[in-house]
Amino acid sequence: MTLSGGADGHVDRAVNALLVDVFRSVLWQVGLTGDAADRLLEQLLEAYRTAPLGTDCTVRFVAHDGEIEIALSQAGRHWRTSCPVPIR
């Protein structure tokens, strides 16, 4: 998923809400909810907020072999984390 920064360098609230909604939906699909999901979301949002304003942001989710990897790329910066997920 790629999100674009606002023309004036500010992230629109709707874009931020979309990122949160997609993030929670993906984690719910792999069985992560509650405190674990909240911690991962806060880490992602912190990485998102510290990047230069007005730049495009790409978020990638990969679930494989009982683990989800979440990656954020923005303005040449890369942030990544992973977490075990329940196998369904």
Percent of the chain with pLDDT over 90: 43
Q: Provide the pLDDT confidence category of residue 76 given band limits of 50, 70 and 90.
A: confident
Q: How far out from the chain centre does Cα 62 lie? A: 12
Question: What global pTM score does this model have?
Answer: 0.80
Q: Which domain holds residue 33?
A: 2-84
Residue 66 has pLDDT above 60, yes or no: yes
Average pLDDT, the chain: 83
| Number of domains making up the chain | 1
Q: Provide the pLDDT confidence category of residue 7 given band limits of 50, 70 and 90.
A: very low
- pLDDT at position 1: 75
